[in-house]
Chains A and B, each alone.
Chain A
Amino acid sequence: MTQVKLKALSKSYVRGLEEKPVLQEVGFCLEPGQFLAVLGPSGCGKTTLLNILAGLEDYQGQLELLPKPRVGYVFQEPRLLPWLTLERNLAFVLPRPDMTRVHCWLKRVGLEGYGRYYPHQVSVGMQQRAGVARALLIEPGLLLLDEPFSSLDELTAQQMRTELQDWLTQSAATVILVTHNPLEAAYLADRVLLLSRSPARVLAELEVPFPRPRSLEAPELWRFARGLVRRLEEGQ
Protein backbone atom coordinates (compact mmCIF):
# COMPACT_ATOMS: atom_id res chain seq x y z
CA MET A 1 0.00 0.00 0.00
CA THR A 2 1.25 3.41 -0.91
CA GLN A 3 0.82 6.89 0.43
CA VAL A 4 0.57 9.53 -2.28
CA LYS A 5 1.45 13.17 -1.51
CA LEU A 6 1.30 15.88 -4.13
CA LYS A 7 2.17 19.47 -3.37
CA ALA A 8 1.95 22.37 -5.84
CA LEU A 9 2.45 20.05 -8.78
CA SER A 10 2.54 21.86 -12.13
CA LYS A 11 3.16 20.79 -15.66
CA SER A 12 3.56 22.69 -18.93
CA TYR A 13 4.12 21.55 -22.48
CA VAL A 14 6.40 23.59 -24.68
CA ARG A 15 5.44 23.76 -28.36
CA GLY A 16 7.83 25.88 -30.37
CA LEU A 17 8.21 29.14 -28.49
CA GLU A 18 4.89 28.76 -26.72
CA GLU A 19 4.52 27.27 -23.23
CA LYS A 20 1.12 25.76 -22.49
CA PRO A 21 0.36 25.09 -18.81
CA VAL A 22 -1.65 21.91 -18.24
CA LEU A 23 -1.61 21.45 -14.47
CA GLN A 24 -1.42 24.37 -12.05
CA GLU A 25 -0.32 23.74 -8.48
CA VAL A 26 -2.35 20.56 -8.02
CA GLY A 27 -2.10 19.03 -4.56
CA PHE A 28 -3.66 16.22 -2.53
CA CYS A 29 -2.71 13.58 -0.02
CA LEU A 30 -3.94 10.04 -0.30
CA GLU A 31 -3.61 7.54 2.54
CA PRO A 32 -2.57 3.93 1.80
CA GLY A 33 -5.45 1.85 0.42
CA GLN A 34 -7.67 4.83 -0.35
CA PHE A 35 -9.53 5.21 -3.63
CA LEU A 36 -9.45 8.67 -5.20
CA ALA A 37 -11.47 9.63 -8.25
CA VAL A 38 -10.20 12.62 -10.25
CA LEU A 39 -13.07 14.28 -12.01
CA GLY A 40 -12.81 17.05 -14.54
CA PRO A 41 -13.80 18.11 -18.03
CA SER A 42 -12.28 16.40 -21.07
CA GLY A 43 -8.78 17.58 -21.93
CA CYS A 44 -8.15 19.24 -18.58
CA GLY A 45 -4.97 17.27 -17.85
CA LYS A 46 -6.27 14.28 -15.90
CA THR A 47 -4.30 11.76 -17.97
CA THR A 48 -1.19 13.93 -17.67
CA LEU A 49 -1.59 13.74 -13.89
CA LEU A 50 -1.70 9.92 -14.04
CA ASN A 51 1.29 9.82 -16.39
CA ILE A 52 3.26 11.91 -13.90
CA LEU A 53 2.30 9.52 -11.10
CA ALA A 54 3.37 6.59 -13.31
CA GLY A 55 6.76 8.21 -13.89
CA LEU A 56 6.14 8.80 -17.59
CA GLU A 57 6.38 12.59 -17.54
CA ASP A 58 8.42 15.21 -15.74
CA TYR A 59 6.85 17.96 -13.60
CA GLN A 60 7.46 20.88 -11.29
CA GLY A 61 6.51 20.65 -7.62
CA GLN A 62 6.57 17.88 -5.07
CA LEU A 63 5.46 14.29 -5.49
CA GLU A 64 6.04 11.63 -2.86
CA LEU A 65 5.09 7.98 -3.22
CA LEU A 66 5.84 6.15 0.03
CA PRO A 67 7.04 3.44 -0.09
CA LYS A 68 8.08 3.42 -3.77
CA PRO A 69 5.26 1.36 -5.27
CA ARG A 70 4.85 -1.17 -8.00
CA VAL A 71 2.52 0.72 -10.34
CA GLY A 72 -0.38 -0.94 -12.14
CA TYR A 73 -1.90 1.14 -14.93
CA VAL A 74 -5.15 0.52 -16.78
CA PHE A 75 -5.10 2.74 -19.84
CA GLN A 76 -8.06 4.23 -21.71
CA GLU A 77 -7.48 1.65 -24.43
CA PRO A 78 -6.28 -1.89 -23.60
CA ARG A 79 -2.67 -1.45 -24.87
CA LEU A 80 -2.10 -5.17 -25.21
CA LEU A 81 0.76 -6.43 -27.38
CA PRO A 82 -1.08 -7.64 -30.52
CA TRP A 83 1.52 -10.32 -31.30
CA LEU A 84 1.12 -12.05 -27.91
CA THR A 85 -1.82 -14.12 -26.68
CA LEU A 86 -3.81 -12.79 -23.72
CA GLU A 87 -2.01 -15.09 -21.29
CA ARG A 88 1.40 -14.07 -22.60
CA ASN A 89 0.38 -10.41 -22.42
CA LEU A 90 -0.34 -10.91 -18.74
CA ALA A 91 2.82 -12.95 -18.15
CA PHE A 92 4.86 -10.17 -19.83
CA VAL A 93 4.43 -7.81 -16.87
CA LEU A 94 5.56 -10.36 -14.27
CA PRO A 95 9.21 -10.41 -13.24
CA ARG A 96 9.16 -14.22 -13.68
CA PRO A 97 6.56 -16.07 -15.76
CA ASP A 98 3.97 -17.56 -13.40
CA MET A 99 1.23 -19.09 -15.51
CA THR A 100 -0.76 -20.28 -12.48
CA ARG A 101 -1.17 -16.67 -11.36
CA VAL A 102 -1.92 -15.57 -14.90
CA HIS A 103 -4.70 -18.16 -15.29
CA CYS A 104 -6.05 -17.34 -11.86
CA TRP A 105 -6.46 -13.68 -12.88
CA LEU A 106 -7.86 -14.56 -16.28
CA LYS A 107 -10.51 -16.58 -14.43
CA ARG A 108 -11.23 -13.74 -12.00
CA VAL A 109 -11.89 -11.28 -14.82
CA GLY A 110 -14.07 -13.76 -16.71
CA LEU A 111 -11.56 -14.69 -19.39
CA GLU A 112 -11.09 -18.34 -18.47
CA GLY A 113 -10.53 -20.30 -21.67
CA TYR A 114 -9.43 -17.22 -23.62
CA GLY A 115 -5.77 -17.27 -22.58
CA ARG A 116 -4.57 -18.52 -25.97
CA TYR A 117 -6.59 -16.00 -27.95
CA TYR A 118 -4.88 -13.02 -29.52
CA PRO A 119 -6.22 -9.55 -28.58
CA HIS A 120 -7.89 -9.05 -31.99
CA GLN A 121 -9.81 -12.32 -31.54
CA VAL A 122 -11.76 -11.01 -28.53
CA SER A 123 -14.02 -8.00 -28.03
CA VAL A 124 -12.76 -4.60 -26.81
CA GLY A 125 -14.52 -5.26 -23.49
CA MET A 126 -12.60 -8.51 -23.08
CA GLN A 127 -9.36 -6.79 -24.03
CA GLN A 128 -10.04 -4.17 -21.38
CA ARG A 129 -10.68 -6.93 -18.81
CA ALA A 130 -7.29 -8.37 -19.74
CA GLY A 131 -5.84 -4.87 -19.25
CA VAL A 132 -7.37 -4.72 -15.75
CA ALA A 133 -6.09 -8.23 -14.96
CA ARG A 134 -2.61 -7.23 -16.16
CA ALA A 135 -2.58 -4.25 -13.78
CA LEU A 136 -3.87 -6.21 -10.78
CA LEU A 137 -1.72 -9.27 -11.44
CA ILE A 138 1.46 -7.54 -10.31
CA GLU A 139 -0.16 -6.78 -6.91
CA PRO A 140 0.35 -3.04 -7.35
CA GLY A 141 0.93 -0.67 -4.48
CA LEU A 142 -0.55 2.09 -6.62
CA LEU A 143 -3.21 1.38 -9.21
CA LEU A 144 -3.89 4.03 -11.85
CA LEU A 145 -7.11 3.82 -13.85
CA ASP A 146 -7.43 6.17 -16.82
CA GLU A 147 -11.09 6.24 -17.87
CA PRO A 148 -10.89 2.46 -18.17
CA PHE A 149 -14.51 2.03 -19.25
CA SER A 150 -14.87 4.98 -21.61
CA SER A 151 -14.36 2.89 -24.75
CA LEU A 152 -17.01 0.34 -23.73
CA ASP A 153 -20.74 0.32 -24.28
CA GLU A 154 -22.68 1.40 -21.19
CA LEU A 155 -23.94 -2.10 -20.36
CA THR A 156 -20.46 -3.61 -20.35
CA ALA A 157 -19.04 -0.57 -18.55
CA GLN A 158 -21.68 -0.92 -15.80
CA GLN A 159 -20.88 -4.59 -15.38
CA MET A 160 -17.15 -3.89 -15.20
CA ARG A 161 -17.60 -1.12 -12.61
CA THR A 162 -19.42 -3.58 -10.35
CA GLU A 163 -16.78 -6.23 -10.96
CA LEU A 164 -13.95 -3.75 -10.37
CA GLN A 165 -15.28 -3.18 -6.87
CA ASP A 166 -15.05 -6.93 -6.22
CA TRP A 167 -11.58 -7.24 -7.72
CA LEU A 168 -10.33 -4.34 -5.63
CA THR A 169 -11.45 -6.01 -2.41
CA GLN A 170 -8.78 -8.60 -3.20
CA SER A 171 -6.15 -5.91 -3.72
CA ALA A 172 -4.44 -3.69 -1.18
CA ALA A 173 -3.63 -1.00 -3.73
CA THR A 174 -4.08 2.72 -3.36
CA VAL A 175 -6.21 3.61 -6.36
CA ILE A 176 -6.49 6.74 -8.48
CA LEU A 177 -9.25 6.74 -11.07
CA VAL A 178 -9.47 9.42 -13.72
CA THR A 179 -12.95 9.86 -15.11
CA HIS A 180 -15.40 12.40 -16.48
CA ASN A 181 -18.33 10.33 -15.25
CA PRO A 182 -19.51 11.70 -11.86
CA LEU A 183 -21.64 8.64 -11.10
CA GLU A 184 -18.66 6.37 -11.66
CA ALA A 185 -16.63 8.53 -9.28
CA ALA A 186 -19.35 8.46 -6.63
CA TYR A 187 -19.87 4.72 -7.00
CA LEU A 188 -16.24 3.63 -6.81
CA ALA A 189 -14.22 6.18 -4.85
CA ASP A 190 -13.62 7.11 -1.21
CA ARG A 191 -12.79 10.67 -2.22
CA VAL A 192 -13.32 12.82 -5.29
CA LEU A 193 -10.95 15.50 -6.53
CA LEU A 194 -12.60 18.06 -8.80
CA LEU A 195 -10.38 19.72 -11.40
CA SER A 196 -11.06 22.87 -13.41
CA ARG A 197 -10.64 23.30 -17.15
CA SER A 198 -7.07 23.41 -18.48
CA PRO A 199 -4.78 24.50 -16.93
CA ALA A 200 -6.23 22.23 -14.27
CA ARG A 201 -6.32 23.39 -10.66
CA VAL A 202 -8.09 21.75 -7.73
CA LEU A 203 -11.65 23.05 -7.35
CA ALA A 204 -12.60 20.88 -4.39
CA GLU A 205 -11.81 17.63 -2.64
CA LEU A 206 -14.79 15.72 -1.26
CA GLU A 207 -15.37 12.58 0.81
CA VAL A 208 -17.90 10.14 -0.64
CA PRO A 209 -20.15 9.61 2.38
CA PHE A 210 -21.60 6.18 1.50
CA PRO A 211 -20.68 2.84 3.01
CA ARG A 212 -19.71 -0.09 0.79
CA PRO A 213 -21.02 -2.06 -0.99
CA ARG A 214 -22.79 0.68 -2.91
CA SER A 215 -25.63 0.37 -5.32
CA LEU A 216 -25.78 2.23 -8.60
CA GLU A 217 -29.54 2.53 -8.15
CA ALA A 218 -29.30 4.35 -4.79
CA PRO A 219 -30.95 7.82 -5.17
CA GLU A 220 -28.46 9.44 -2.76
CA LEU A 221 -25.58 8.30 -5.00
CA TRP A 222 -27.26 10.03 -7.99
CA ARG A 223 -27.87 13.16 -5.89
CA PHE A 224 -24.21 13.18 -4.85
CA ALA A 225 -23.15 12.77 -8.50
CA ARG A 226 -25.42 15.67 -9.53
CA GLY A 227 -23.82 17.72 -6.77
CA LEU A 228 -20.38 16.96 -8.24
CA VAL A 229 -21.53 18.18 -11.66
CA ARG A 230 -22.93 21.38 -10.11
CA ARG A 231 -19.68 22.10 -8.31
CA LEU A 232 -17.72 21.44 -11.47
CA GLU A 233 -19.92 23.85 -13.44
CA GLU A 234 -19.69 26.52 -10.74
CA GLY A 235 -15.92 26.21 -10.59
CA GLN A 236 -15.18 26.62 -14.31
Chain B
Amino acid sequence: MSLWFKIVRSPWFFRAISFASILLVWLALSSWLGAKLMPGPLETWTFLVRELERGVLLPQVGVTLQRVLLAFALAMGVGLALGFWAGRSPRFEQLLEGWVALGLAIPRILPIVVAYVVLGLNELAAVLSVFLIVLPTVIVQVREGVRALEPRLLQMSQVFGKGPLEVAYFVIWPQLAPFVWGTARATLSLCWKMIVFAELLGRTSGVGYQIAFYFQMFEMRGILAYGLAITLALVLLDALLLLGAQRAGRWRGREAMA
Protein backbone atom coordinates (compact mmCIF):
# COMPACT_ATOMS: atom_id res chain seq x y z
CA MET B 1 0.00 0.00 0.00
CA SER B 2 1.50 3.33 -1.02
CA LEU B 3 2.08 6.06 1.58
CA TRP B 4 -0.41 8.36 -0.16
CA PHE B 5 -3.11 5.67 -0.05
CA LYS B 6 -2.43 5.11 3.68
CA ILE B 7 -2.74 8.84 4.38
CA VAL B 8 -6.00 9.15 2.44
CA ARG B 9 -7.51 6.15 4.21
CA SER B 10 -6.62 7.51 7.67
CA PRO B 11 -9.51 9.12 9.61
CA TRP B 12 -7.09 11.93 10.52
CA PHE B 13 -6.90 12.93 6.87
CA PHE B 14 -10.56 13.95 6.80
CA ARG B 15 -10.31 15.62 10.20
CA ALA B 16 -7.34 17.63 8.90
CA ILE B 17 -9.37 18.60 5.83
CA SER B 18 -12.22 19.72 8.09
CA PHE B 19 -9.94 22.01 10.16
CA ALA B 20 -8.09 23.27 7.10
CA SER B 21 -11.41 24.24 5.50
CA ILE B 22 -12.24 26.42 8.53
CA LEU B 23 -8.93 28.26 8.11
CA LEU B 24 -9.54 28.63 4.39
CA VAL B 25 -13.03 30.11 4.89
CA TRP B 26 -11.60 32.44 7.55
CA LEU B 27 -8.82 33.55 5.15
CA ALA B 28 -11.32 34.04 2.33
CA LEU B 29 -13.61 36.14 4.55
CA SER B 30 -10.64 38.19 5.73
CA SER B 31 -9.45 38.98 2.23
CA TRP B 32 -13.02 39.76 1.12
CA LEU B 33 -14.02 42.00 4.07
CA GLY B 34 -10.57 43.42 4.76
CA ALA B 35 -8.25 43.00 7.77
CA LYS B 36 -9.92 45.79 9.77
CA LEU B 37 -13.36 44.17 9.66
CA MET B 38 -12.21 40.55 9.64
CA PRO B 39 -8.58 40.00 10.67
CA GLY B 40 -7.04 36.78 9.35
CA PRO B 41 -5.83 33.83 11.45
CA LEU B 42 -2.24 35.08 11.61
CA GLU B 43 -3.18 38.60 12.78
CA THR B 44 -5.57 37.17 15.36
CA TRP B 45 -2.90 34.77 16.61
CA THR B 46 -0.36 37.62 16.86
CA PHE B 47 -2.85 39.66 18.91
CA LEU B 48 -3.52 36.65 21.14
CA VAL B 49 0.22 36.16 21.79
CA ARG B 50 0.55 39.89 22.59
CA GLU B 51 -2.26 39.62 25.15
CA LEU B 52 -0.54 36.58 26.61
CA GLU B 53 2.77 38.45 26.91
CA ARG B 54 0.98 41.41 28.54
CA GLY B 55 -0.26 38.98 31.20
CA VAL B 56 -3.94 39.72 30.49
CA LEU B 57 -5.08 36.68 28.55
CA LEU B 58 -4.47 33.86 31.05
CA PRO B 59 -6.14 35.52 34.08
CA GLN B 60 -9.19 36.46 31.97
CA VAL B 61 -9.50 32.96 30.48
CA GLY B 62 -8.90 31.51 33.96
CA VAL B 63 -11.76 33.53 35.49
CA THR B 64 -14.13 32.41 32.74
CA LEU B 65 -13.07 28.78 33.09
CA GLN B 66 -13.59 28.98 36.83
CA ARG B 67 -17.18 30.21 36.33
CA VAL B 68 -17.84 27.65 33.61
CA LEU B 69 -16.57 24.77 35.75
CA LEU B 70 -18.53 25.92 38.80
CA ALA B 71 -21.83 26.16 36.88
CA PHE B 72 -21.03 22.87 35.12
CA ALA B 73 -20.24 21.00 38.36
CA LEU B 74 -23.38 22.33 40.04
CA ALA B 75 -25.60 21.47 37.07
CA MET B 76 -24.12 17.97 36.72
CA GLY B 77 -24.33 17.24 40.45
CA VAL B 78 -27.90 18.44 40.96
CA GLY B 79 -29.04 17.29 37.49
CA LEU B 80 -27.70 13.77 38.01
CA ALA B 81 -29.49 13.41 41.34
CA LEU B 82 -32.80 14.85 40.11
CA GLY B 83 -32.63 13.06 36.73
CA PHE B 84 -31.90 9.73 38.40
CA TRP B 85 -34.79 10.18 40.81
CA ALA B 86 -37.13 11.27 38.01
CA GLY B 87 -36.15 8.21 35.97
CA ARG B 88 -36.93 5.87 38.86
CA SER B 89 -40.06 7.50 40.26
CA PRO B 90 -42.95 8.44 37.95
CA ARG B 91 -44.48 10.55 40.72
CA PHE B 92 -41.34 12.62 41.17
CA GLU B 93 -41.08 12.97 37.40
CA GLN B 94 -44.66 14.29 37.28
CA LEU B 95 -43.80 16.69 40.09
CA LEU B 96 -40.79 17.94 38.16
CA GLU B 97 -42.50 18.04 34.77
CA GLY B 98 -43.72 21.65 34.94
CA TRP B 99 -40.33 22.99 36.04
CA VAL B 100 -38.46 21.06 33.37
CA ALA B 101 -40.88 22.18 30.65
CA LEU B 102 -40.53 25.78 31.81
CA GLY B 103 -36.73 25.51 31.97
CA LEU B 104 -36.51 24.08 28.46
CA ALA B 105 -38.92 26.56 26.90
CA ILE B 106 -37.72 29.77 28.50
CA PRO B 107 -35.42 32.00 26.36
CA ARG B 108 -31.92 31.29 27.65
CA ILE B 109 -31.00 34.93 28.13
CA LEU B 110 -33.92 35.52 30.51
CA PRO B 111 -32.52 33.87 33.69
CA ILE B 112 -29.29 35.86 33.28
CA VAL B 113 -31.12 39.19 33.02
CA VAL B 114 -33.52 38.30 35.87
CA ALA B 115 -30.64 37.15 38.12
CA TYR B 116 -28.70 40.41 37.48
CA VAL B 117 -31.79 42.48 38.30
CA VAL B 118 -32.69 40.51 41.43
CA LEU B 119 -29.24 39.62 42.82
CA GLY B 120 -27.15 42.41 41.34
CA LEU B 121 -24.22 42.30 38.94
CA ASN B 122 -22.15 39.74 40.83
CA GLU B 123 -20.57 36.27 40.61
CA LEU B 124 -23.48 34.53 42.28
CA ALA B 125 -25.96 35.89 39.75
CA ALA B 126 -23.79 34.90 36.78
CA VAL B 127 -23.08 31.33 37.94
CA LEU B 128 -26.55 30.69 39.38
CA SER B 129 -28.34 31.83 36.24
CA VAL B 130 -26.19 29.64 33.97
CA PHE B 131 -26.69 26.71 36.35
CA LEU B 132 -30.46 27.20 36.07
CA ILE B 133 -30.28 27.46 32.27
CA VAL B 134 -28.46 24.12 31.79
CA LEU B 135 -30.07 22.17 34.64
CA PRO B 136 -33.26 21.06 32.77
CA THR B 137 -31.17 19.64 29.91
CA VAL B 138 -29.10 17.57 32.35
CA ILE B 139 -32.23 16.31 34.13
CA VAL B 140 -33.88 15.23 30.87
CA GLN B 141 -30.79 13.46 29.52
CA VAL B 142 -30.08 11.59 32.75
CA ARG B 143 -33.75 10.66 33.17
CA GLU B 144 -33.73 9.11 29.69
CA GLY B 145 -30.57 7.17 30.58
CA VAL B 146 -32.17 5.83 33.76
CA ARG B 147 -35.31 4.84 31.82
CA ALA B 148 -33.15 2.88 29.41
CA LEU B 149 -31.63 0.77 32.21
CA GLU B 150 -32.18 -2.92 31.53
CA PRO B 151 -34.63 -4.12 34.25
CA ARG B 152 -33.75 -7.78 33.67
CA LEU B 153 -30.15 -7.16 34.72
CA LEU B 154 -31.36 -5.38 37.85
CA GLN B 155 -33.60 -8.39 38.60
CA MET B 156 -30.65 -10.72 38.13
CA SER B 157 -28.58 -8.70 40.62
CA GLN B 158 -31.46 -8.72 43.09
CA VAL B 159 -31.87 -12.51 42.85
CA PHE B 160 -28.18 -13.04 43.50
CA GLY B 161 -28.39 -10.78 46.55
CA LYS B 162 -26.12 -7.98 45.40
CA GLY B 163 -26.04 -4.86 47.57
CA PRO B 164 -26.91 -1.37 46.32
CA LEU B 165 -23.28 -0.27 45.97
CA GLU B 166 -22.32 -3.28 43.85
CA VAL B 167 -25.45 -2.88 41.73
CA ALA B 168 -24.67 0.82 41.25
CA TYR B 169 -21.06 0.14 40.24
CA PHE B 170 -21.35 -3.06 38.20
CA VAL B 171 -24.88 -2.86 36.76
CA ILE B 172 -26.21 0.70 36.70
CA TRP B 173 -23.10 2.80 36.03
CA PRO B 174 -21.91 0.93 32.90
CA GLN B 175 -25.34 1.47 31.33
CA LEU B 176 -25.69 5.05 32.50
CA ALA B 177 -22.13 6.22 31.85
CA PRO B 178 -22.50 6.85 28.08
CA PHE B 179 -25.54 9.07 28.82
CA VAL B 180 -23.72 10.91 31.62
CA TRP B 181 -20.58 11.56 29.54
CA GLY B 182 -22.68 12.67 26.56
CA THR B 183 -24.66 14.98 28.83
CA ALA B 184 -21.45 16.32 30.37
CA ARG B 185 -20.13 17.30 26.92
CA ALA B 186 -23.37 19.03 25.93
CA THR B 187 -23.60 20.76 29.33
CA LEU B 188 -20.02 22.02 29.22
CA SER B 189 -20.57 23.44 25.76
CA LEU B 190 -23.77 25.19 26.81
CA CYS B 191 -22.22 26.43 30.09
CA TRP B 192 -19.33 28.23 28.44
CA LYS B 193 -21.51 29.88 25.84
CA MET B 194 -23.88 31.13 28.53
CA ILE B 195 -21.10 32.22 30.92
CA VAL B 196 -19.42 34.28 28.20
CA PHE B 197 -22.80 35.85 27.52
CA ALA B 198 -23.37 36.55 31.23
CA GLU B 199 -19.90 38.15 31.45
CA LEU B 200 -20.65 40.26 28.41
CA LEU B 201 -23.86 41.52 30.01
CA GLY B 202 -22.79 42.18 33.55
CA ARG B 203 -19.27 41.31 34.68
CA THR B 204 -16.02 43.24 34.77
CA SER B 205 -13.73 40.30 34.14
CA GLY B 206 -13.54 37.20 31.98
CA VAL B 207 -13.52 36.50 28.27
CA GLY B 208 -17.06 37.84 27.79
CA TYR B 209 -16.06 41.15 29.38
CA GLN B 210 -12.94 41.35 27.16
CA ILE B 211 -15.08 40.72 24.08
CA ALA B 212 -17.47 43.48 25.17
CA PHE B 213 -14.49 45.78 25.80
CA TYR B 214 -12.95 45.24 22.36
CA PHE B 215 -16.42 45.54 20.80
CA GLN B 216 -16.65 49.05 22.21
CA MET B 217 -13.16 49.78 20.85
CA PHE B 218 -14.20 48.26 17.52
CA GLU B 219 -11.11 46.05 17.69
CA MET B 220 -11.99 42.86 15.84
CA ARG B 221 -8.58 41.30 16.55
CA GLY B 222 -9.35 41.43 20.29
CA ILE B 223 -12.85 39.99 19.84
CA LEU B 224 -11.60 37.09 17.74
CA ALA B 225 -8.47 36.49 19.87
CA TYR B 226 -10.46 36.07 23.11
CA GLY B 227 -13.10 33.99 21.30
CA LEU B 228 -10.33 31.78 19.94
CA ALA B 229 -8.60 31.47 23.34
CA ILE B 230 -11.68 30.24 25.21
CA THR B 231 -12.66 28.00 22.31
CA LEU B 232 -9.23 26.33 22.37
CA ALA B 233 -9.40 25.88 26.16
CA LEU B 234 -12.83 24.27 25.93
CA VAL B 235 -11.90 22.10 22.96
CA LEU B 236 -9.19 20.64 25.20
CA LEU B 237 -11.65 20.09 28.07
CA ASP B 238 -14.14 18.54 25.65
CA ALA B 239 -11.44 16.20 24.33
CA LEU B 240 -10.98 14.93 27.90
CA LEU B 241 -14.72 14.35 28.25
CA LEU B 242 -14.78 12.65 24.85
CA LEU B 243 -12.09 10.22 26.04
CA GLY B 244 -14.28 9.39 29.03
CA ALA B 245 -17.34 9.00 26.80
CA GLN B 246 -15.50 6.66 24.42
CA ARG B 247 -14.21 4.59 27.31
CA ALA B 248 -17.67 4.36 28.88
CA GLY B 249 -19.31 3.34 25.60
CA ARG B 250 -16.65 0.81 24.59
CA TRP B 251 -18.73 -2.23 25.58
CA ARG B 252 -21.63 -1.04 23.39
CA GLY B 253 -19.25 -0.76 20.44
CA ARG B 254 -17.89 -4.24 21.08
CA GLU B 255 -21.43 -5.62 21.22
CA ALA B 256 -22.50 -3.82 18.07
CA MET B 257 -19.52 -5.23 16.18
CA ALA B 258 -20.30 -8.80 17.24
**Do A54 and B159 touch (CB < 8 A)?**
yes
* A190, chain B: closest CB distance, angstroms: 23
Convert A75-88 into 0s and 1s, putting 1 for each residue whose CB lies closer than 8 angstroms to a CB of B: 10101011110000
A79 touches B254 (CB 8 A): no
The minimal Cβ–Cβ distance linking A151 to chain B, given in whole angstroms, is: 14
Task: Say if the beta carbon of B174 comes within 8 Å of chain A.
Answer: yes
User: In the complex, what's the smallest C-beta–C-beta distance from B247 to chain A, in angstroms?
Assistant: 11
* Docked-complex contact A56 and B155, CB < 8 angstroms: yes
Interface pair A120/B254, CB less than 8 Å apart: yes
Q: Contact flags (1/0) for B152-181 with A, using CB distance below 8 Å?
A: 110110111110001000110010000000
At the interface, yes or no: B255 with Cβ under 8 Å from chain A? yes
Instruction: Indicate if the CB atoms of A79 and B152 lie closer than 8 Å.
Output: yes
The answer on a CB contact under 8 Å between A120 and B152 is no
- Contact across chains for B174 and A121 when beta carbons are under 8 A apart: no
The answer to whether B174 and A55 touch across the interface, beta carbons within 8 angstroms, is no
Asked if A75 and B152 sit within 8 Å, CB to CB, the answer is: yes
Q: Does B258 touch A at the CB level, under 8 Å?
A: yes
> Would A120 and B255 be within 8 Å (CB), given that A83-B174, A92-B170 are in contact?
yes
Closest to A88 in B: B170
Check B255 against A92 for contact (C-beta < 8 Å).
no
Taking the complex as formed, is A118 at the interface, i.e. its CB lies under 8 A from any CB of chain B?
A: yes
A9 within 8 A of B: no
| Chain A residues within 8 Å of B, Cβ to Cβ | 51, 54-56, 70-73, 75, 77, 79, 81-84, 92-93, 118, 120-121, 134, 138
B13 an interface residue at 8 Å Cβ cutoff? no
9 examples of A-B residue contacts, CB within 8 angstroms: A71-B160, A73-B156, A73-B159, A73-B160, A79-B153, A81-B170, A81-B174, A93-B162, A120-B254
Q: Are A82 and B156 in contact (CB under 8 A)?
A: no
Q: Are B156 and A84 interface neighbours, CB within 8 A? A: no
| CA gap between A71 and B174 in the complex, in Å | 25
Q: Does B251 touch A at the CB level, under 8 Å? A: yes
Contact A75 B254 (CB under 8 A): no
* Inter-chain pairs besides A55-B159, A73-B159, 6 sampled, C-beta below 8 Å: A79-B153, A81-B153, A81-B171, A81-B174, A93-B160, A120-B255
Q: Which 9 A-B pairs have the closest CB atoms?
A: A120-B258, A83-B251, A93-B160, A83-B174, A73-B159, A79-B156, A54-B159, A120-B255, A82-B255
A55 to B160, CA, bound (A): 11
Distance from A198 Cβ to chain B, minimum over Cβ atoms (Å): 21
In angstroms, Cα B160 to Cα A72, docked, is 7
B residues near A138, Cβ cutoff 8 Å:
160
Q: Which of B158, B254, B258 contacts A56 (CB 8 A)?
A: B158
Whether A118 contacts B160 by the Cβ 8 Å rule is no
CB–CB B158/A121 < 8 A: no
In the complex, what residues of B have CB within 8 A of residue A81's CB?
Answer: 153, 170-171, 174
Chain A residues with CB below 8 A from B170, complex form: 81, 84, 92
